[in-house]
Amino acid sequence: TCMNSVGPPGSGKGTQSPLIKDEYCLCHLATGDMLRAAVAAKTPLGIKAKEAMNKGELVSDDLVVGIIDEAMKKPSCQKGFILDGFPRTVVQAQKLDDMLAKQGAKVDKVLNFAIDDAILEERITGRWIHPSSGRSYHTKFAPPKTPGVDDVTGEPLIQRKDDTAAVLKSRLEAFHMQTEPVIDYYSKNGLVANLHAEKPPKEVTVEVQKALQ
Ligand code: AP5
Ligand code: ZN
Protein backbone atom coordinates (compact mmCIF):
# COMPACT_ATOMS: atom_id res chain seq x y z
CA THR A 1 0.00 0.00 0.00
CA CYS A 2 1.20 3.51 -0.77
CA MET A 3 -0.86 6.59 0.06
CA ASN A 4 0.27 10.17 -0.50
CA SER A 5 -0.70 13.31 1.43
CA VAL A 6 -0.34 16.41 -0.74
CA GLY A 7 -1.19 19.95 0.29
CA PRO A 8 0.24 23.39 1.07
CA PRO A 9 2.13 24.23 4.29
CA GLY A 10 -0.23 24.05 7.28
CA SER A 11 -2.98 22.19 5.43
CA GLY A 12 -2.97 19.31 7.96
CA LYS A 13 -0.82 16.58 6.33
CA GLY A 14 1.24 16.05 9.49
CA THR A 15 -1.87 16.08 11.69
CA GLN A 16 -3.90 13.53 9.69
CA SER A 17 -1.18 11.20 8.34
CA PRO A 18 -0.26 9.64 11.72
CA LEU A 19 -3.94 8.75 12.25
CA ILE A 20 -3.98 6.88 8.93
CA LYS A 21 -0.73 5.21 9.88
CA ASP A 22 -2.28 3.88 13.11
CA GLU A 23 -5.52 2.76 11.49
CA TYR A 24 -3.87 0.88 8.61
CA CYS A 25 -0.61 -0.13 10.37
CA LEU A 26 1.41 1.68 7.75
CA CYS A 27 4.75 3.41 8.06
CA HIS A 28 4.54 7.27 8.14
CA LEU A 29 7.29 8.76 5.98
CA ALA A 30 7.43 12.56 6.21
CA THR A 31 10.32 14.01 4.22
CA GLY A 32 10.10 17.33 6.14
CA ASP A 33 10.49 15.52 9.50
CA MET A 34 13.37 13.40 8.17
CA LEU A 35 15.14 16.47 6.75
CA ARG A 36 14.70 18.44 9.99
CA ALA A 37 16.22 15.52 11.92
CA ALA A 38 19.17 15.51 9.50
CA VAL A 39 19.65 19.27 9.90
CA ALA A 40 19.55 18.98 13.71
CA ALA A 41 22.11 16.13 13.62
CA LYS A 42 24.30 18.07 11.14
CA THR A 43 24.62 15.04 8.86
CA PRO A 44 25.96 15.59 5.30
CA LEU A 45 22.36 15.45 4.08
CA GLY A 46 21.27 18.00 6.70
CA ILE A 47 24.10 20.35 5.78
CA LYS A 48 23.04 20.22 2.11
CA ALA A 49 19.33 20.71 2.89
CA LYS A 50 19.46 23.42 5.55
CA GLU A 51 19.74 26.55 3.43
CA ALA A 52 16.87 25.72 1.06
CA MET A 53 14.63 24.73 3.99
CA ASN A 54 15.27 27.94 5.90
CA LYS A 55 14.40 29.96 2.79
CA GLY A 56 11.21 27.97 2.18
CA GLU A 57 12.50 26.52 -1.06
CA LEU A 58 12.45 22.86 -2.07
CA VAL A 59 15.46 20.65 -1.47
CA SER A 60 16.82 18.96 -4.63
CA ASP A 61 14.87 16.02 -6.06
CA ASP A 62 17.91 13.73 -5.84
CA LEU A 63 18.31 14.27 -2.10
CA VAL A 64 14.68 13.59 -1.17
CA VAL A 65 14.28 10.68 -3.59
CA GLY A 66 17.35 9.13 -1.93
CA ILE A 67 15.81 9.51 1.54
CA ILE A 68 12.54 7.91 0.47
CA ASP A 69 14.24 5.11 -1.43
CA GLU A 70 16.20 4.21 1.71
CA ALA A 71 13.24 4.54 4.08
CA MET A 72 11.01 2.34 1.91
CA LYS A 73 13.42 -0.55 2.33
CA LYS A 74 13.17 -0.60 6.14
CA PRO A 75 11.56 -3.81 7.50
CA SER A 76 8.95 -1.73 9.36
CA CYS A 77 7.77 -0.31 6.03
CA GLN A 78 7.16 -3.60 4.24
CA LYS A 79 3.38 -3.47 4.77
CA GLY A 80 3.21 -0.11 3.07
CA PHE A 81 3.47 3.58 3.85
CA ILE A 82 1.75 6.90 4.00
CA LEU A 83 3.94 9.55 2.39
CA ASP A 84 3.66 13.06 3.84
CA GLY A 85 5.22 15.91 1.87
CA PHE A 86 6.49 13.64 -0.91
CA PRO A 87 6.32 13.68 -3.92
CA ARG A 88 6.45 17.44 -4.26
CA THR A 89 7.53 17.76 -7.91
CA VAL A 90 6.47 15.83 -11.01
CA VAL A 91 10.02 14.43 -11.24
CA GLN A 92 9.67 13.05 -7.69
CA ALA A 93 6.28 11.51 -8.62
CA GLN A 94 7.80 9.78 -11.65
CA LYS A 95 10.73 8.48 -9.59
CA LEU A 96 8.29 7.21 -6.94
CA ASP A 97 6.36 5.29 -9.61
CA ASP A 98 9.65 3.68 -10.72
CA MET A 99 10.69 2.76 -7.16
CA LEU A 100 7.29 1.25 -6.41
CA ALA A 101 7.19 -0.66 -9.70
CA LYS A 102 10.41 -2.41 -8.68
CA GLN A 103 8.56 -3.71 -5.60
CA GLY A 104 5.49 -4.66 -7.64
CA ALA A 105 3.57 -1.84 -5.93
CA LYS A 106 1.90 1.42 -6.97
CA VAL A 107 0.34 4.57 -5.52
CA ASP A 108 -3.12 3.58 -4.26
CA LYS A 109 -4.54 6.95 -3.19
CA VAL A 110 -3.57 10.61 -3.14
CA LEU A 111 -5.14 12.76 -0.43
CA ASN A 112 -5.32 16.35 -1.64
CA PHE A 113 -5.52 18.69 1.36
CA ALA A 114 -7.29 21.49 -0.52
CA ILE A 115 -7.42 24.81 1.34
CA ASP A 116 -7.34 28.54 0.73
CA ASP A 117 -3.94 30.22 1.21
CA ALA A 118 -5.50 32.91 3.44
CA ILE A 119 -6.14 30.45 6.31
CA LEU A 120 -2.59 29.16 6.46
CA GLU A 121 -0.66 31.99 8.12
CA GLU A 122 -2.57 31.63 11.40
CA ARG A 123 -2.03 27.87 11.37
CA ILE A 124 1.68 28.14 10.65
CA THR A 125 2.57 30.93 13.06
CA GLY A 126 0.67 29.25 15.95
CA ARG A 127 2.24 25.82 15.45
CA TRP A 128 4.51 24.13 18.03
CA ILE A 129 6.14 20.78 17.29
CA HIS A 130 7.73 17.93 19.21
CA PRO A 131 10.84 17.52 17.06
CA SER A 132 11.70 13.85 17.65
CA SER A 133 8.19 12.49 16.90
CA GLY A 134 7.00 15.19 14.47
CA ARG A 135 3.79 15.69 16.52
CA SER A 136 2.33 19.15 16.00
CA TYR A 137 0.21 21.34 18.21
CA HIS A 138 -1.38 24.76 17.80
CA THR A 139 -1.76 27.42 20.47
CA LYS A 140 -5.39 27.99 19.43
CA PHE A 141 -6.58 24.97 17.42
CA ALA A 142 -4.80 22.04 19.08
CA PRO A 143 -3.21 23.18 22.36
CA PRO A 144 -1.06 20.73 24.35
CA LYS A 145 -2.29 19.82 27.86
CA THR A 146 0.57 21.91 29.32
CA PRO A 147 1.76 24.90 27.23
CA GLY A 148 5.12 24.24 25.57
CA VAL A 149 5.21 20.54 26.54
CA ASP A 150 4.56 17.38 24.47
CA ASP A 151 1.51 15.43 25.77
CA VAL A 152 3.13 12.01 25.25
CA THR A 153 6.77 12.42 26.34
CA GLY A 154 6.67 15.56 28.51
CA GLU A 155 9.54 16.94 26.41
CA PRO A 156 9.67 20.60 25.33
CA LEU A 157 7.98 21.81 22.14
CA ILE A 158 9.72 24.12 19.68
CA GLN A 159 8.72 26.35 16.78
CA ARG A 160 10.02 25.55 13.29
CA LYS A 161 12.53 28.00 11.85
CA ASP A 162 10.52 28.23 8.60
CA ASP A 163 7.21 28.92 10.40
CA THR A 164 7.26 32.70 9.89
CA ALA A 165 4.88 34.75 7.75
CA ALA A 166 7.77 35.75 5.45
CA VAL A 167 9.09 32.22 4.80
CA LEU A 168 5.51 30.94 4.43
CA LYS A 169 5.22 33.16 1.33
CA SER A 170 8.12 31.32 -0.34
CA ARG A 171 6.77 27.93 0.74
CA LEU A 172 3.38 28.75 -0.77
CA GLU A 173 5.03 29.90 -3.98
CA ALA A 174 6.94 26.61 -4.19
CA PHE A 175 3.70 24.73 -3.57
CA HIS A 176 1.77 26.47 -6.34
CA MET A 177 4.59 26.36 -8.88
CA GLN A 178 6.10 22.94 -8.25
CA THR A 179 3.66 20.80 -6.25
CA GLU A 180 0.23 21.60 -7.70
CA PRO A 181 1.27 19.91 -10.99
CA VAL A 182 1.72 16.71 -8.94
CA ILE A 183 -2.01 16.75 -8.18
CA ASP A 184 -2.74 17.01 -11.94
CA TYR A 185 -0.29 14.15 -12.56
CA TYR A 186 -2.30 11.83 -10.29
CA SER A 187 -5.71 13.19 -11.34
CA LYS A 188 -5.17 11.65 -14.76
CA ASN A 189 -5.15 8.22 -13.09
CA GLY A 190 -8.23 8.99 -10.95
CA LEU A 191 -6.27 8.54 -7.72
CA VAL A 192 -6.99 11.91 -6.10
CA ALA A 193 -9.42 12.38 -3.21
CA ASN A 194 -10.11 16.07 -2.57
CA LEU A 195 -10.48 16.97 1.11
CA HIS A 196 -11.97 20.12 2.64
CA ALA A 197 -8.85 20.84 4.68
CA GLU A 198 -10.25 24.10 6.11
CA LYS A 199 -12.68 22.13 8.31
CA PRO A 200 -11.89 21.30 11.97
CA PRO A 201 -9.39 18.41 12.41
CA LYS A 202 -11.98 15.78 13.40
CA GLU A 203 -14.14 16.54 10.35
CA VAL A 204 -11.10 16.25 8.09
CA THR A 205 -10.37 12.86 9.67
CA VAL A 206 -13.88 11.68 8.74
CA GLU A 207 -13.29 12.80 5.14
CA VAL A 208 -9.97 10.93 5.09
CA GLN A 209 -11.64 7.76 6.35
CA LYS A 210 -14.34 8.02 3.68
CA ALA A 211 -11.72 8.57 0.98
CA LEU A 212 -9.83 5.44 2.01
CA GLN A 213 -12.84 3.13 2.26
P1 AP5 B 1 7.35 19.98 5.37
O2 AP5 B 1 7.76 19.67 6.76
O3 AP5 B 1 6.72 18.93 4.56
O4 AP5 B 1 6.44 21.28 5.45
P5 AP5 B 1 5.15 21.74 4.61
O6 AP5 B 1 4.82 21.01 3.41
O7 AP5 B 1 5.37 23.19 4.44
O8 AP5 B 1 3.98 21.35 5.49
P9 AP5 B 1 3.77 21.63 6.99
O10 AP5 B 1 4.48 20.63 7.82
O11 AP5 B 1 4.05 23.09 7.27
O12 AP5 B 1 2.19 21.49 7.11
P13 AP5 B 1 1.24 20.25 7.43
O14 AP5 B 1 0.33 20.10 6.28
O15 AP5 B 1 1.98 19.05 7.88
O16 AP5 B 1 0.43 20.90 8.63
P17 AP5 B 1 0.17 20.40 10.14
O18 AP5 B 1 -0.67 19.17 10.14
O19 AP5 B 1 1.43 20.38 10.92
O20 AP5 B 1 8.62 20.51 4.56
C21 AP5 B 1 9.49 21.47 5.10
C22 AP5 B 1 10.59 21.79 4.11
O23 AP5 B 1 11.38 20.62 3.84
C24 AP5 B 1 10.15 22.27 2.73
O25 AP5 B 1 9.90 23.65 2.70
C26 AP5 B 1 11.34 21.86 1.86
O27 AP5 B 1 12.41 22.77 2.01
C28 AP5 B 1 11.76 20.54 2.48
N29 AP5 B 1 11.09 19.38 1.85
C30 AP5 B 1 10.26 18.49 2.49
N31 AP5 B 1 9.83 17.54 1.63
C32 AP5 B 1 10.40 17.83 0.43
C33 AP5 B 1 10.33 17.23 -0.86
N34 AP5 B 1 9.58 16.13 -1.09
N35 AP5 B 1 11.03 17.80 -1.87
C36 AP5 B 1 11.80 18.89 -1.66
N37 AP5 B 1 11.91 19.51 -0.47
C38 AP5 B 1 11.21 18.99 0.58
O39 AP5 B 1 -0.75 21.60 10.65
C40 AP5 B 1 -0.27 22.92 10.76
C41 AP5 B 1 -0.82 23.59 12.05
O42 AP5 B 1 -2.24 23.71 11.95
C43 AP5 B 1 -0.56 22.77 13.30
O44 AP5 B 1 -0.32 23.65 14.35
C45 AP5 B 1 -1.86 21.98 13.52
O46 AP5 B 1 -2.09 21.72 14.88
C47 AP5 B 1 -2.90 22.92 12.94
N48 AP5 B 1 -3.99 22.21 12.25
C49 AP5 B 1 -3.92 21.07 11.52
N50 AP5 B 1 -5.12 20.75 11.00
C51 AP5 B 1 -5.98 21.73 11.41
C52 AP5 B 1 -7.38 21.96 11.19
N53 AP5 B 1 -8.11 21.11 10.44
N54 AP5 B 1 -7.93 23.06 11.73
C55 AP5 B 1 -7.18 23.92 12.49
N56 AP5 B 1 -5.86 23.75 12.74
C57 AP5 B 1 -5.27 22.67 12.21
ZN1 ZN C 1 4.06 18.58 8.08
Residue 67 belongs to a domain with what CATH number?
3.40.50.300
C-alpha 84 to ligand 1 mean position (Å): 9
In angstroms, the CA 87 to CA 64 distance is 9
In angstroms, the CA 98 to CA 105 distance is 10
Residues annotated as catalytic are 13, 88, 127, 160, 171
In 3D space, the residue among 79, 87, 167 whose CA is nearest the CA of residue 127 turns out to be: 167
pLDDT of residue 182: 97
The one-digit pLDDT tens for each residue of the chain (213 residues) are: 899 999 999 999 999 999 998 888 899 999 999 999 999 999 999 999 999 999 999 999 999 999 999 999 898 888 899 999 999 999 999 999 999 999 899 999 999 999 999 999 999 999 999 998 989 999 999 999 999 999 999 999 999 999 999 999 999 999 999 999 999 999 998 999 999 999 999 999 999 999 998
Helix, strand or coil, per DSSP, at residue 193: strand
pLDDT of residue 62: 97
Predicted TM-score (pTM) above 0.90: yes
Which residues, 6+ apart, have CB-to-CB distance to 8 below 8 Å? 113, 115, 117, 120, 171, 172, 175, 179
Asked if residue 131 lies in contact with residue 41, where contact means CB atoms within 8 angstroms, the answer is no
pLDDT of residue 48: 97
Atom 5 of ligand 1, nearest CA residue: 9
C-alpha 160 to ligand 2 mean position (Å): 11
83 located within any domain: yes
In angstroms, the CA 182 to CA 195 distance is 16
133 located within any domain: no
pLDDT of residue 204: 98
Amino acid residing at 209: Q
Neighbouring CB atoms inside 10 A of 106's CB total 13
192 located within any domain: yes
148 located within any domain: no
Q: Which residues line ligand 1 (CB under 6 A)?
A: 7, 9-15, 31-32, 35, 52-53, 56-59, 64, 85-86, 88, 92, 123, 126-127, 136-138, 141-142, 162, 171, 199-201, 204
pLDDT of residue 110: 97
C-alpha 163 to ligand 1 mean position (Å): 9
132 located within any domain: no
Over the Cα atoms of the chain, what is R_g?
16
pLDDT of residue 140: 96
Domain that includes residue 26, residue range? 2-116+174-212
104 located within any domain: yes
pLDDT of residue 41: 96
130 located within any domain: no
ipTM: 0.98
**Structural domains in the chain (count):** 1
72 located within any domain: yes
